[in-house]
Structure 1
Amino acid sequence: MVGTSTEFDTLLELCREQHRRIVLAVLASEKRSLTVNDLTKTIIKHNHHTPLREISGEESMQIRMELHHVHIPMLEEQSLVEYDQKRQLVEPTPEFDQLQPQLSAIIDADPVLHPLVAL
C-alpha cells in the first residue's frame, strides 16, 4: 500500500484518529485476530484512562458503534483488516503485515500507546 506519496498520505489519514491508532497498535502487538469487544475495552483503557467498571454502558456502546460503522470499515477499505461482522472478529491482513515498519513508526510517536495490549 505505501509505495507512493499518496499511499503514505492515506496511511497517515488512517492513523490521524486515536481510536484507529489504538486498533492498529493492538493488532500489531498482539499479532492475532481480536473481537470488537476486545478492541472496545482496549480503547477505553488506553484512550479514556478509566477502569472498565467505571465507564458507562452508553459510552462503551458509542465506542463499539464507532468501531463497527467508522473505524473498522476504513481499515477494511484499505485492506489492512478483514472484519467478520457475524463473529465480530477483526483480523489483520498480509497487507497489514507489510506496513508494520511504517505503522510502527507512527504508533511509536504516540506516547499514549505504550505499552499496549489487548484486554
Structure 2
Amino acid sequence: MEEIADDFNTVLDLCQDRYRRIVLAVLVEEQRLLTVNDLTKTVLKHNHQTSIIEGCIGRLTKIQLSLLHTHIPKLEMEGVIEYDRERQKVKPTEQLDQLQPYLSAIINLDPGLEEPVGL
C-alpha cells in the first residue's frame, strides 16, 4: 500500500507543471524514443495552441531551454525517462509504464489538453 501512495505522490509532483504534463502525455501516447526538438514542438502546439509556423523562434527557444534545464532533469531524476544528452533524445522507462494509470487519470483531467497528446 505504501508503494502505491509513493507512486501517486510522485505522479502528483511530476504533473504540477503543464510542460511536464504535456511531455508525459506524449511519451505515454508514443511509447518510443523522442528528440528534445519533438518535445519542444509538442509543448508549443498543446500549451500555446499554435503551430511551429506561427510560433516565434524566441518562444521555441524558451520552451526548449525550460525542458533542458528544468523538466527533463526532473523526469530523469524520478526515473520515468532516460535522457541521452549528447543526442538530445528522451526515452520512456519501465517506471513510466508503471505510473501510466495515475498519469492518464491526471492528464485526462487537464481541460487544456486534447486527447490524445501526440506529435
TM-score, normalisation: structure 1? 0.92
CA deviations over 1:39-64 (Å, ceiling 9, x no partner): 00000011001121121111101100
Matched ranges for 1:25-36 at <5 A:
25-36=25-36
Which consecutive residues of structure 1, in runs of 5 or more, have no partner in the other structure?
A: none
CA deviations over 1:63-99 (Å, ceiling 9, x no partner): 0011011000000000000000111100000111111
Residues 25, 113 of structure 1: 8 Å contact kept: no
Shift of 1:109: 0.9
3-state secondary structure, aligned to 1:49: coil
Q: Which contiguous aligned blocks of 4+ residues in structure 1 show a shift greater than 4 angstroms?
A: none
Counterpart in the other structure of 2:118: 117
Which consecutive residues of structure 2, in runs of 5 or more, have no partner in the other structure?
A: none
- 1:19–1:51 distance in 2 versus 1, CA, 3 Å: same
Q: Identity over the aligned pairs, expressed in percent?
A: 50
Counterpart in the other structure of 2:53: 53
3-state secondary structure, aligned to 1:16: coil
- 1:96–1:4 distance in 2 versus 1, CA, 3 Å: same
- Report how many aligned residue pairs link the two structures: 117
Counterpart in the other structure of 1:82: 82
Q: Distance in 2 between matches of 1:100 and 1:3?
A: 15
